[in-house]
Every structure is written in structure tokens, then in C-alpha cells.
Amino acid sequence: MYNPYLEDHRDALAARYALGVASDAERGIAERLLSEDRAFGARVAEYEVLFGDLDDTIEPVTPPLGLWDRIERSIDAAVFSAIPEMALWTSLAPGLSRKVVRTDVSAGIEVLVYKVAPQASLALPNDLIARDCLVLDGDIEIDGVYAHGGDLLAALGANGQGALTSRSGALLYVRAVAQPLA
């Protein structure tokens, strides 16, 4: 059966299989293709030759004593407890709500999620200016730049102005600079 996704990603699958980093599902597909498709088998063989020298050039390294303990401590230090207000949606304007998902002032990071109502048209919120924004679902237009689910936008409204509109509504993931706690 024809699978357009597989056709578009055959070469990547051959490379991942040859490197040994394919997931279980990918490995199963690759092994089926190897038994049915000579061209796919040839591409895997090409990648095996191409990547084969990697094993010879990389020397094994023993991690320093205590490395895993330091990693675990740094992860523990990065864990935060959710502040009750952080779990709530806050209405910023008609058609726009925001939820603070995570704030880590020491790392200077704040993660926000925005809900934009269908047919919304409003001024660009200040915390969306010059921030990275991933459109999780729906569509938005900011100053003539159109984006839909899966698109990543950077430096939004960098000129300090801007209009945000959405035809169908949107869910946005925004990574911003954390503001110091008052």
C-alpha cells in the first residue's frame, strides 16, 4: 500500500536504521522494506558504509566519578513546585487568555500558553513581543505574517507594536524572559 509519509521519509529511515537509532516501529518498517525493496536496501548499505567509520574514530570515554550525582542534583534544583495561580487561565483581553506554565527566574525562562478565540483581533500582548512562539493549534496572523499549527515564530512584534488576529482560534506556546519576582 502506498504511504506518502513513508515515501517522503525513506532516506531518513534508511539513515536512522543504519545508525542504529531507529525506534522499534521504524526498525520494523525498515526490516520489512529491506526484504521487499532493493533500492531501500542499497540506500541502507550506502549509509552503513558512510557511517561505518564513526565506530573507529570514537574512543570510549569513562565519565568522571560523581557525574551522575551532579546531573541528578541539577535536575532536582531545576524542578519547581507549581504556584496555584500558575494553573489558572487569566483573561488578558476579550478573545485572549494566558496560562503561566512554568517560571524559572534563576534560568531566566517563563513558559506561557495563550488561547486566542476564533475571530479575535487585538493588539499584540507585551510578553509576545520579541519572543519565540510555537503555534500548537489553529491559526494566527501577526502584522501580516500568517502561521498555523506547527509553525514557530521568532521576534514577534519586534518593533514594539503589532496586531494579532485569528480566524479559527489558536493555542500558542510562548517561551519568554522571566520577570523577577516582586
DSSP secondary structure letters along 46-106: HHHHHHHHHHHHPPP-PPPTTHHHHHHHHHHHH--PPPGGGGS-EEEETTEEEEEEEEETT
101-119 pLDDT, tens per residue? 777 767 677 788 888 999 9
Enumerate residues 6+ apart whose C-beta is below 8 A from 48: 18
Q: What is the pLDDT of residue 174?
A: 81
Which span out of 33-37, 87-91, 175-179 was modeled with the highest average pLDDT? 33-37
118-137 pLDDT, tens per residue? 998 877 766 555 467 788 88
Domain edges within the chain: 4-57, 84-177
20-68 pLDDT, tens per residue? 888 888 888 899 999 999 999 999 998 888 777 666 666 777 778 888 7
Signed CA dihedral, 118, 161, 87, 133: sign only: positive
Better-predicted residue by pLDDT, 36 or 80: 36
Architecture of the structural domain at 84-177: Sandwich (2.60)
Mean pLDDT on 91-105: 82
CB neighbours of residue 99 within 10 Å: 15
What residues form DSSP beta bridges with 24? Answer: none
This prediction has a pTM of: 0.49
Better-predicted residue by pLDDT, 4 or 169: 169
CA 95 vs. chain centroid, Å, equals 25
* Stretch (H or E) spanning 45: helix 38-57
Rounded to an integer, what distance in angstroms lies between the CA atom of residue 154 and that of residue 133? 6
Rounded to an integer, what distance in angstroms lies between the CA atom of residue 160 and that of residue 20? 48
